Structure 1
């Protein structure tokens, strides 16, 4: 048999050998191109006699000598025609002709493969026995178990993806079906004496798995030899880390934890899935080390131990979900009740991973909104007794009453006032006062900028962002209670004038000649697509951002006025919720100031951060470090130099640290980690990100797809295009002056910056659609985005 495998020259011959060896292969026959031309009638008789039974449908498939070779797969290059009626000679002849014509210049020895169609297909797909891009030791299962078609995965239309580490244990699987597929792959590996196989399969209603094709992975020769050992070494440390942090921890409620890239403070959206050390450490320094919990504590949430919110697994930032959920407990909730709640929240996210980027709208109720009690009872029936239920309700009700106000002395307005102190300090910063300073003074200046950014910027921003979440929850629940229609809520949102809509207006003014580019850059030049990324150029360094602007009509933010019935309804709901100190108009004023304030706060604190990055770049240039060098260093390592003098030349001191940052990043990229890690098992069996997008507007558009990143030029012609961005922040606001038709992002929540901007501009969007769908759409030439029917399809 081994000799036969080595002698096999085509897809058809390989499948015949597999059939003889006992693998499930649909009945087949094949013939050469020469046979077809010489004796077409004889071949047709063979086809009819072989497949003319009750099934009546065949697949006419390519089996060309140019495909499935060790050096080149030519996957998808040649035609295959499915569901051809076996009793229709014309249909068979036409299908065979299409297949042969697809070979181009064919040889007499090229073949055509005929197979019986598998009836009742419930699953189909492709198994790679190594990750094709880098050779990492994972089985890569890409499959469709929804359409009952056998070619959706190979044609790139749909599918789910799961990575399975080759050193898995059977207990790592939730799905027996996937385990069966991996064992099929192992049988084929043993048969072919190769771990670099590309296997096409399908499964029928009876659970029988059919092999449709096996070929070598053509790029295997390019893989690094050490990747298997590197991955094995790294995955053991990640497993140990996850296991240790998943056990109970003093001062935290919850018997375990989960790790996710989006449940809180959205690191995947803000700094990316695999950020470099400088960006990661800055995000930690400014947000996830202490600011995140301190802000919530100041607003009346429970004080939590000094735990880190963000952890780094193989170079990827993850949120410790238990820490996050503890910080959402209202102060005053009894300890035993808090334990019940956190465990219930963790269990719900475990069972509903698609909610990983919607925890405040699908898992945890963090504000006493108008459906608070109904929501708790529906999500967690029987969890809390009557007395516990009342105590939890009372604590959140008090927290909400203390925060929901737009009066001058309210927490929201105090936080907004703190920002103005930062604005005053920023006016003292000028490039000229930095460029001439000595290295020590430059680093001292960076330290000052970051400290002010943290205490006067990200801390009040964190509080204002929480107020915006509160406002959103109250307004959504008002719609749920029929106090106002969804359309009216959308109208209200569009009426809110934010700093980013002001910026769009100013861009239009530049286009019309009313504002000079210099004046525009003095206001907005600090913005960059990657807020924490020193390699991401500022607007001030990208003059093309202002080139080719469209002088379209700027959206007018018309004042929103409640209708009498809406006012009565909202006043009644506020009274029922114990928020009678507010009237309906005051609630909307609070929401307006919170939503606009969040965007303003982000705009202000990012100026200090941007100035710190530029000052750091100047310091690096003085001592001989490039921006790229700096991006591989932690901010703590850099600032330490300002208090502890170096005992060697700067380049000599930092070179090992730069190399270490690169090595950790390279090693981490070999590991395939998911968007949500629920236990150590998820380190070995890794489903890729499939998420329900957050839909914006109710519009439907079709258009050309353009994929952008932080290095994309700002003068691209995007008129009528649907733009795809992995993760987006204010640095991409120039998009809204380019008359784009729609927006698709891989990461992002319902309250993300881009969701708000799209709502303001009435641009249909799919925010946070997940890796699988995003990659398919971004790779397409055109796509259809239907926000009303909540569908997104590549065309």
Structure 2
């Protein structure tokens, strides 16, 4: 007969003598009512524990149910001296008074000492019950670092429930414990606290707590991920390791952030329309044409991004190949690509920094020095010189005053006229969608990909001037502040928004939306109040134009520097390149997004024409729409759309349930993996837009609150009617993560210092938990 969930204390008591895979510490139960009547009797019972230090915990009936866990709501006190009666009684009464009823239990146990590993494990994903064991633990010796979010070196491990291969003996034993608890309680949805400790000369596993996960009102994806799907993925991953035409490198690695970083642009779990649009207008073909045009290895016909059960992964081997100058000897190129692959495989944390810390994609003022590290990896001086010359040749071609990037900027200037002509035409919705996207590719994303490459080269060269000491960080900042980007213009004009300036502002910027490819993300002109606040009176913005210039002597030194490096450009022309490439990158993106955004509007209207909601159109692959331009079938488009939408929705259930690492370098990771250290945890599947606030501000209602820690001390925030929160530190199993999950409150846990500082500067944010994205508005 299965055990019945009771209180925290009685769950542990019921397991004594029955649990085989782990030990339960001895315990004493009491309550405030009994404590007030006969404290001496309770003290006598506690003495039988024969402990030096005790942990005294709440065990209220208001905790640990399938409707509400109230985790951390009541007091728990550790390291209480067992032989100090005054301290002990004081602790007992304090814990008792923290609970709502005098009959609520107080749990007393010996403090577990000599802890080697301590953590929390879920039998499923706590937010959507996807079929993964989720363990988070650290080896600091603390018994609370995971639950209070203070662990700096926590390990997070995901293990597909039907997989029988384990990463190590510890994870195998913990999962064995969770499985036994599932059997004992006849429940698949458990939250278990555990620890390994040196106990009486032996390394033992302890079960410190078990409770049911809060299930009420939550999505349940427990049966949405069949093993057959992962088995097919496993086989496909292995087949992708084989060499491809014109692609160098001995192994394939896939990541969600390298190169055209889909995780940032469309999210980790984009719906089919957003994903297919991104592939169609950029990553299937356009990206490779741009690299080839700018002097890199020809990889046309190779799609950059693969959909692994709906999650977008960049083929990093392909990306590495695409940064090889086409003039480089193939033997050196092959050696270089393998070096890149090995460097990334040894440093997974660099997966979103490959162009900064791994790849040599252009020549800069520090390149001769940076290339020297290759001498430690099997390269010789001759190979370094040949690589250096290839990079220099390629870079000179890009920065040339008559460079291709200028032609691309000029080409993109046709976009506005094309936009006006197509939107005002009498073409059908279907035809308008087709031609908006086609022209978006030809005059938008193709030149954008080129100007973006020039913009990256510009930033790389600017940064290298700081690296070699020619510029200070302040001078670099002064140069960037002198630029007049479209983003800066938007920021300035939005500050002075009032009822009079709003129409002009929306005519210029109204097509923008937080999720560029997401039909469900409203444009500025569709939901203005979600993004901006109007000023009551006219605000005149005074903008001082900041000019950047070098002194005569410094310009002469710089001209000499250019000559020494073989960069065939004059000093003034070089800074013109930096300015035009960086400003141009933003402007071309702004212009092409106008056509894309309007195409998405028309897709919504097409859905409305057929009686299909936007929420459903979001699941339609753009190719199904575009195929109708030149193909007429007997079946009506509506029937085709609905059939595709139904199929893709089922696929999306699987996409939402799957867990994968940010960087896939080994087929075994498909079934189990340790996540990267800085991998934010998105709680719930909701989407919110709100102003930001720091936790110490008075007015928090309706705001996204930014907090550094994630311990129970922040529970007061839940009384402030906040819209959601973001923490700098904390893991998937931290206290605040659990509370947010229980309350259905959108939150992002553990974004890391760099991202947190960025969000602190934003006055308004959009959090999309389902696609795992944060937008600064």
How does the TM-score come out when normalised to structure 2? Answer: 0.83
CA contact (8 A) 2:131 2:225 kept: no
The question of 1:528 aligning with 2:513 is answered: yes
Aligned-residue offset at 1:114: 2.0
Aligned to 2:770: none
Aligned to 1:241: 236
Cα distance in structure 1, aligned partners of 2:240 and 2:754: 40
Match of 2:148 among 139, 155, 171: 155
Cα distance in structure 1, aligned partners of 2:707 and 2:302: 36
Q: Per the alignment, in what secondary structure is the counterpart of residue 414 of structure 2?
A: helix
Aligned to 1:143: 137
Q: Cα distance 1:620–1:500, how it changes in 2: closer, same or farther (>3 A)?
A: same
Aligned to 2:193: 200
Cα distance in structure 1, aligned partners of 2:629 and 2:707: 43
Cα distance in structure 1, aligned partners of 2:512 and 2:612: 23
Cα distance in structure 2, aligned partners of 1:384 and 1:99: 66
Q: Any idea what the Cα deviations from partners look like across 1:640-664, whole Å, max 9, x if unmatched?
A: 2121223133322322111111111
Q: Per the alignment, in what secondary structure is the counterpart of residue 275 of structure 2?
A: helix
Residues 715-794 of structure 1 mapped to structure 2, 5 A cutoff = 718=692
Aligned to 1:104: 100
Q: Per the alignment, in what secondary structure is the counterpart of residue 283 of structure 1?
A: helix
Q: Could you say which structure has the greater relative contact order, defined with CA pairs below 8 angstroms and 6 or more residues apart?
A: 2
Q: Cα distance 1:292–1:527, how it changes in 2: closer, same or farther (>3 A)?
A: same
Cα distance in structure 1, aligned partners of 2:269 and 2:625: 21
Q: Cα distance 1:708–1:182, how it changes in 2: closer, same or farther (>3 A)?
A: closer
Instruction: Say how many residue pairs are matched.
Output: 723
Aligned to 2:721: none
Aligned-residue offset at 1:767: 11
The question of 1:414 aligning with 2:407 is answered: yes
Residues 71-470 of structure 1 mapped to structure 2, 5 A cutoff = 73-107=69-103, 110-145=104-139, 148-158=141-151, 159-170=154-165, 173=167, 175-189=168-182, 194-204=187-197, 208-219=204-215, 227-228=222-223, 230-378=225-373, 381-405=376-400, 407=401, 409-430=402-423, 433=424, 437=426, 441-470=428-457
Cα distance in structure 2, aligned partners of 1:789 and 1:285: 33
Aligned-residue offset at 1:122: 4.3
CA contact (8 A) 2:255 2:315 kept: yes
Cα distance in structure 2, aligned partners of 1:687 and 1:500: 38
383-392 or 313-322, which moves further after superposition? Answer: 383-392
Q: Any idea what the Cα deviations from partners look like across 1:241-298, whole Å, max 9, x if unmatched?
A: 2222122223211122111111111111111221121111111111001110110111
Q: Cα distance 1:23–1:12, how it changes in 2: closer, same or farther (>3 A)?
A: farther
383-392 or 568-577, which moves further after superposition? Answer: 568-577
The question of 1:581 aligning with 2:569 is answered: yes
Q: Per the alignment, in what secondary structure is the counterpart of residue 233 of structure 1?
A: helix
Q: Cα distance 1:767–1:344, how it changes in 2: closer, same or farther (>3 A)?
A: farther
Q: Cα distance 1:787–1:561, how it changes in 2: closer, same or farther (>3 A)?
A: farther
Q: Per the alignment, in what secondary structure is the counterpart of residue 27 of structure 2?
A: strand
Q: Per the alignment, in what secondary structure is the counterpart of residue 397 of structure 1?
A: helix
CA contact (8 A) 1:252 1:305 kept: no
* CA RMSD in angstroms, aligned pairs only: 4.0
CA contact (8 A) 1:483 1:566 kept: no
Q: Cα distance 1:624–1:197, how it changes in 2: closer, same or farther (>3 A)?
A: closer
Q: Any idea what the Cα deviations from partners look like across 1:662-706, whole Å, max 9, x if unmatched?
A: 11111222222222211211111134453389xxxxxxxxxxxx9
Aligned to 2:534: 548
Q: Any idea what the Cα deviations from partners look like across 1:66-104, whole Å, max 9, x if unmatched?
A: 444566544333321112233433322222122212221
Aligned to 2:39: 40
Q: Per the alignment, in what secondary structure is the counterpart of residue 246 of structure 1?
A: coil
CA contact (8 A) 1:8 1:14 kept: no
Q: Per the alignment, in what secondary structure is the counterpart of residue 228 of structure 1?
A: coil
Q: Per the alignment, in what secondary structure is the counterpart of residue 240 of structure 2?
A: helix
Cα distance in structure 1, aligned partners of 2:397 and 2:414: 24
Cα distance in structure 2, aligned partners of 1:7 and 1:244: 47
CA contact (8 A) 2:285 2:300 kept: no
Q: Per the alignment, in what secondary structure is the counterpart of residue 203 of structure 1?
A: strand
The question of 1:491 aligning with 2:487 is answered: no
Q: Cα distance 1:785–1:140, how it changes in 2: closer, same or farther (>3 A)?
A: closer
Aligned-residue offset at 1:474: 1.4
CA contact (8 A) 2:5 2:211 kept: no
CA contact (8 A) 2:124 2:134 kept: yes
Aligned-residue offset at 1:493: 1.7
Cα distance in structure 1, aligned partners of 2:15 and 2:735: 39
Cα distance in structure 2, aligned partners of 1:490 and 1:769: 32
568-577 or 515-524, which moves further after superposition? Answer: 568-577
Aligned-residue offset at 1:568: 5.9
Q: Any idea what the Cα deviations from partners look like across 1:542-569, whole Å, max 9, x if unmatched?
A: 2324533495966645112335675466
Gaps of 5+ in 2: 698-702, 709-725, 761-777
Cα distance in structure 1, aligned partners of 2:134 and 2:483: 46
CA contact (8 A) 1:257 1:322 kept: yes
